Structure formats: structure tokens, C-alpha cells
Copies of this chain bind each other. A is one copy, B any other.
């Protein structure tokens, strides 16, 4: 699941990064195109700008522009700005946090599953989506840390 706010941000990024977009897009344009409420989208865009992924400019001819090439912006980088993992310290089995030196049986496997879920976001860029391309790494490769058994 991805929060509605993160979804707004992603759609906004896709709009701004589209090759046919040549000038800065205003917040209300982006809001209209994405279906998000105007002021809410403004807040979302502001957060993305603070993170350095887009640039904001006020006044006439103002609006939002990419600050980083679309090929370098992964979906995870956008989504993680809003959907922070709360990381329940209680382990999947038992009633306390897992002792790192002696984790519960399910610990590593659960970590692997959670980690694997992040891969598609970490290995797909805004540019990939705009080109209708799926990076094979997004669905085929798992980092070393995921190899459990």
C-alpha cells in the first residue's frame, strides 16, 4: 500500500518530468491534472522541493521544475518522503524487540520479505515509468542482504 499523499507526489513528478513539459508547472495545474486538492498538492510539492528533487519559483512564470534528472529519481526516493516505515520494534514472534544476536525464527525471513517489497520502488525511476519500461532489477534481483536461508 502506498499513501494517497505519496501517490499525489508520484503523479506530480511524472507530470513535471514528462518530455513534453518545457516550462515550470504551477501547483494548480498539477493539482487539476492529478485530481488532488489545490492547497494540499501545494504542501506536497513544497515537501518534495525541500527534499531537493524539484525546484520551486514564485511569481509569474513561477512553478515547479525537476532539480534532478528523471533517470536519477527512483520511485522510492519520492514515496519515502511521505510513507515512512514505522518499524514496529516488537518482533514477529514473541512480545519484545528481537535480540539482534539471537533473533526469532521468523526475523530474517520477514525482513527479507519486507525488503523485497521495496525493490520495485528502489529500482524503478521516474524516467523508467515515462518510457513504459520496467527495470529487470525491479523484479528479478535481490540484494545480498535478502539472501537468508
Chain A residues at the B interface, C-beta cutoff of 8 Å: 1-3, 7, 10-11, 14-15, 18, 32-35, 75, 83, 85, 88, 90, 92-95, 105-110, 112-114, 116-117, 119-121, 124, 128-134, 138-140, 142, 146-149
Contact = CB atoms under 8 A, between A and B. Distances in A.
Given A18-B93, A95-B33, A139-B142, A132 B148 contact: yes
Pick the most buried of A83, A120, A124, A149: most chain B CB atoms within 10 A of its CB: A120
Q: How many copies does the complex hold?
A: 2
A68 to B, nearest CB: 19
B120 A132 contact: no
A146 B64 CA distance: 33
Nearest to A85: B1
A116 to B, nearest CB: 4
Nearest to A118: B117
Contacts of A128: 109
A7 to B, nearest CB: 7
B134 A10 contact: no
Nearest to A108: B132
Nearest to A83: B1
A75 B147 CA distance: 19
B121 A113 contact: yes
Contacts of A105: 129-132
A106 B140 contact: no
A34 B149 contact: no
A37 to B, nearest CB: 14
